[in-house]
Structure 1
Amino acid sequence: MIGIDRDTGATVDDWPQFVQRATRALTTPLGTRQKRPKYGSNLVTRLSKNLGDELLLLAQSDAAETFYNEANGISDFEPDTIVAVREGAGLRLRLAGTWRNRKMQFEVAT
């Protein structure tokens, strides 16, 4: 699949394009797209709360759920490890797993 980088406007494909799609799905609140109400993640709704250890566990769970939601179109990545860490006023997700039979990893700041 070929796409357009949302920051530069350059053409992206393969892994960078997937990372962009996954980042968009993880940072879009569930139910906010009118024509695709099942698209997105519950992860963003948790960010307004105090970032305690239990919230980090819930964030990891929400991130995993996002990859198994068929409406997001990112199920071609099978997460092995999802780690949420505090960063500034939000959190950073570190994800590692299998994508097209290759071990890959990326980070998402929310």
Structure 2
Amino acid sequence: MIGIDRSTGATVDDWPQFIQRATRALSTPLGTRQKRPLYGSKLPGLLARNMTDELLILAQSEAVATFYNPANGIGEFVPSVAIASRSQSGLLLRFEGTWTNRKMTFEVLL
């Protein structure tokens, strides 16, 4: 699949394009798209709360659930590890898993 980078406008494909799609799905609140109400994640709703350890565990759970939502179109990545941690500007999610039979890792800052 070929796409356009949101920040530079350059053409992206393969792994960088998937990371962009996954980031968009993880950062879009569930139910906010008019024609695709099932698209998105519950993660943005968690960001307004205090970053307790319980919230980090809940964020990990919601992040993994986002990959298994067929409306998001990012099911080709099967996460094996999802780690949520605090950062200076919000929540940092680190994923490890299998994408098209390759072990891959990436991070998303929310």
* Post-superposition offset of 1:106: 0.2
Q: Percent identity?
A: 68
Q: What is the letter of the counterpart of residue 86 of structure 2?
A: R
1:81 aligns with 2:81: yes
What does residue range 31-110 of structure 1 map to in structure 2 within 5 Å?
Answer: 31-110=31-110
Aligned residues: 110
For 1:58 and 1:86, locate their aligned partners in 2 and report how far apart those are by CA, in whole Å.
Answer: 13
For 1:29 and 1:90, locate their aligned partners in 2 and report how far apart those are by CA, in whole Å.
Answer: 16
For 2:89 and 2:73, locate their aligned partners in 1 and report how far apart those are by CA, in whole Å.
Answer: 29
What TM-score, normalized by structure 1, do the two folds share? 0.99
> What is the aligned-residue RMSD (CA, Å)?
0.5
TM-superposition CA deviations, 1:28-83 (whole Å, max 9, x none): 00000000000000011000000000000000000000000000000000000000
What TM-score, normalized by structure 2, do the two folds share? 0.99
* Post-superposition offset of 1:90: 1.1
Partner of 1:23: 23
